[in-house]
Amino acid sequence: MKNPRAFYQPLAIGAPAPYRELPVALERMIHFVPPHIEKMRGKVPDLINKVDVVLGNLEDAIPADAKVAARRGFIQMTKDNDFGQTGLWTRVNCLNSPWFLDDLLEIVTSVGDKLDVIMLPKVEGPWDIHYLDQLLAQLEARSGIKKPIMIHAILETAEGVKNVESIASSSPRMHGMSLGPADLAASRGMKTTRVGGGHPDYSVLADASENTARTAYQQDLWHYTVAKMVDACLSCGLKPFYGPFGDFSDSAACESQFRNAFLMGCLGAWSLHPTQIELAKRVFSPDPAEVAFAIKILDAMPDGTGAVMIDGKMQDDATWKQAKVIVDLAKLVAS
């Protein structure tokens, strides 16, 4: 399928290349703000330039009787601040909720020119994206908004995971996707109350040996979905993200979940708590030792072809491309 993002530019840096295209903007953490709480809105100026993306959350975690206040609060915080290079997103309520239509109408017509991305929850198939795409086209035209507002889908229903590839290729407005482990667990009937992360009972037992007790190795509950999402996204030039990690008291487990996602191709994760901001910044920036080695590869193969040995490790055209991914990201972080 033709890359639908080809219609919009400039979403990738450099010329078309034989490796995947990099995002222009760093989006290592999507930082969630509850806009109905005045005190939290007051902290937004401190977030600008500290986080890569500020997101005003209107959906889950906002009480039903505060939905209108959250929408109005988001509009207010958007008007009150100059976000500069910091991305501005909102997570609207889901399509079949009583709030979605007003979320879209009020936000796009009043502050749509400042908004980069709309995160759409509980996306089940390409039809959900087509609907939002058309509504956005109408509202943008009506309000004279020149820069198209992008769509970011949350992958958080069994139906959505089944249709992930057609969601990814559904519209040139698609920015990317995030895993929503809490809703997805419920939708699939998984037996966990955790928001992301592993579970001690999801493990395999190592073989028995005469001298040692059998060890249980915990497995990653989200590996399959993240892998599927990364392939669907990258095949269409979109950005994949890990979503929320709910246990704020366990930053080691959060870091490990984020790092798995980074290694598998994700570009960022959600930060729901201030402690997760620096954590995501560190994890989703390439490791300096890895960057140094990647630079050695690029230097040793100036035209990206052939085979060389570096520190006893074979390098060729494919590892050159791997190195380019890491060095390009490092340049973006440094810029």
Contacts to Mg ion by CB under 5 A: 156, 180, 183
Interacting residues of 266 by C-beta distance below 8 A, sequence separation 6+? 226, 230, 240, 241, 242, 284
Which one of residues 172, 183, 301, 328 is an interface residue with ligand GLV (CB under 6 A)?
Answer: 183
Distance from C-alpha of 308 to C-alpha of 299, rounded to nearest angstrom: 11
Nearer to ligand GLV, 22 or 92 (CB): 92
244 lies in the site for ligand GLV, by CB under 6 A: yes
Q: What is the DSSP code string of 181-230? A: HHHHHHHHT-S---SSS--TTSEEEPPP-SSS---EEE--TTHHHHHHHH
Rg of the chain in Å (alpha carbons): 21
154 lies in the site for ligand GLV, by CB under 6 A: yes
Distance from C-alpha of 184 to C-alpha of 225, rounded to nearest angstrom: 10
151 lies in the site for ligand GLV, by CB under 6 A: no
286 lies in the site for ligand GLV, by CB under 6 A: no
Distance from C-alpha of 8 to C-alpha of 26, rounded to nearest angstrom: 18
Nearer to Mg ion, 52 or 183 (CB): 183
Shortest separation between residue 86's beta carbon and ligand GLV, angstroms: 22
Nearer to ligand GLV, 116 or 156 (CB): 156
Site for ligand GLV in 77-136 (CB under 6 A): none
Shortest separation between residue 44's beta carbon and ligand GLV, angstroms: 21
Sign of the alpha-carbon dihedral angle for 148, 233, 329, 245: positive
Which one of residues 182, 232, 233, 330 is an interface residue with ligand GLV (CB under 6 A)?
Answer: 182
Residue whose token pair is 């500290």: 50
Nearer to ligand GLV, 109 or 187 (CB): 187
243 lies in the site for ligand GLV, by CB under 6 A: yes
Residues of this chain that interact with ligand GLV (CB under 6 A) are 60, 154, 156, 180-183, 195, 243-244
